[in-house]
Amino acid sequence: MTETSSLSGYHIAIVGGDARQKEIAHYCQLCGANVYVVGFDQLALTEPGFTKLDSHELPYEELDAIVFPVSGVGEEGAVRSSFSSKQIEVDIKMFQKLNKDCVLFSGIQTPWLEQIQQTVVYLMDEDQIAIQNSIPTAEGVLWLLLQHTNHTIHGSTILVTGFGRIGMTITRVLKSLGAHVICGSSSKSEKARMIEMGIEPIDLQRISSCLVKCDAWINTIPSKSVFAEDLFNQISHHCLVIELASGPKVIDQQTADSLGLRYIDAPSLPGLIAPKTAGIILATSIIERLNTHQNHQHQEDNHDL
């Protein structure tokens, strides 16, 4: 590791998560950090630099960073973990012991994290992460389409709602495979870009007119209020609906089942399809942020002198 990526002397807690968190823990350890892992009791992690603890055993006063999963922290401090048979919970009272410079990392914002007085970095809001993350997400969409449809992507009519960092990559990949891609957006500039790319633009308020003929609908917009409730009655029963949004869903599993729709809730595709790549993307950003934070603190200390 280069000197600029050194975390020597750092104390970092990795709490819960999936294989991406394992990669983050590994890279922080390689950079010289003392890594405490919570919710990893089913993994060996016997290398020097790793310490397995329960959440209440963490040395909160010494921590320089706490890394939560992409899914964040749920109600009453619940944290998902793929490597533990036990329920993982964090006690908000323990966070009062943190020093003021300790940085918290989470994939998404949750109400529980909003209560915390520390600096919280929401990784999925970072452009460099979201754009790079769109690559394994798009590959995951292809995987789902190939698994759950009985026809080629080439020649299929596919609706993508949202033309942001993830939606743009997905539309480009589907278009390159010969799909007829329709993309929903309310932005004039985004629609102009779609035309330039050979994508058919459609206003979000008018997507009901094309859903009847679609073989798949891929949603990237985290909102319940964008689409009219009667929209789901327009969906063809052969259409595969893939929900990628991590926040509020355009439709939930219960509603989809009641309407007889083919529905897949897939907000964490990168962690499922390419956990190593996705983990490295997150780890790189976390380590860069901690090094920047460290340099900033040194500058402040020198200024005080």
pLDDT digits over 192-221, tens only? 999 999 999 999 989 998 999 999 999 999
Rounded distance between C-alpha atoms, residue 220 and residue 90, angstroms: 30
- Strand ranges in 19-87 using DSSP code E only, listed in sequence order: 34-38, 50-52, 65-67, 78-79
The pLDDT > 90 percentage for the chain reads 75
Q: Which two tokens stand for residue 30?
A: 């390689």
Domain count, the chain: 2
Q: Which two tokens stand for residue 149?
A: 């449809």
Selection from 298, 297, 268 nearest residue 123 by Cα: 268
Same domain for 134 and 95, yes or no, is no
Same domain for 100 and 204, yes or no, is no
Give the pLDDT band (50/70/90) at residue 305.
low
The residues pairing with 105 across neighbouring beta strands, listed in sequence order, are: 67, 121
Same domain for 202 and 109, yes or no, is no
Same domain for 163 and 240, yes or no, is yes
Q: What is the pLDDT of residues 82-140, one digit of tens each?
A: 999 899 999 999 999 999 999 999 999 999 999 998 999 999 999 999 999 999 999 99
Q: Which two tokens stand for residue 266?
A: 């897939």
Same domain for 187 and 100, yes or no, is no
Rounded distance between C-alpha atoms, residue 265 and residue 250, angstroms: 10
Rounded distance between C-alpha atoms, residue 161 and residue 291, angstroms: 37
Q: Does residue 17 register a pLDDT over 80?
A: yes
Containing structural domain, residue 46: 3-125+274-304
Rounded distance between C-alpha atoms, residue 182 and residue 238, angstroms: 17
Burial of 241 (0-12, 13-18, 19+ CB in 10 A): buried
Selection from 202, 193, 157, 150 nearest residue 175 by Cα: 157
Contact 67, 12 (CB under 8 A): yes
Same domain for 99 and 214, yes or no, is no
Q: Which two tokens stand for residue 47?
A: 């290398």
Same domain for 25 and 98, yes or no, is yes
pTM of the model: 0.85
Same domain for 233 and 290, yes or no, is no
The DSSP secondary-structure symbol of 60 reads G
| Residue 217 CA to its chain's centroid (Å) | 20
Rounded distance between C-alpha atoms, residue 201 and residue 215, angstroms: 17
Q: What is the CATH number of the domain that holds 133?
A: 3.40.50.720
Number of helices followed by number of strands (H, E) in the chain: 9, 14
Query: What residue type is assigned to position 267 of the chain?
Result: P
Same domain for 149 and 117, yes or no, is no
Same domain for 85 and 196, yes or no, is no
**The tokens 């009791």 sit on which residue?**
41
At 305 the three-state DSSP class reads: coil
Q: Does residue 2 register a pLDDT over 60?
A: no
Same domain for 150 and 209, yes or no, is yes
Better-predicted residue by pLDDT, 213 or 2: 213
Give kind and range of the element (H or E) at residue 275: helix 275-304
Same domain for 84 and 36, yes or no, is yes
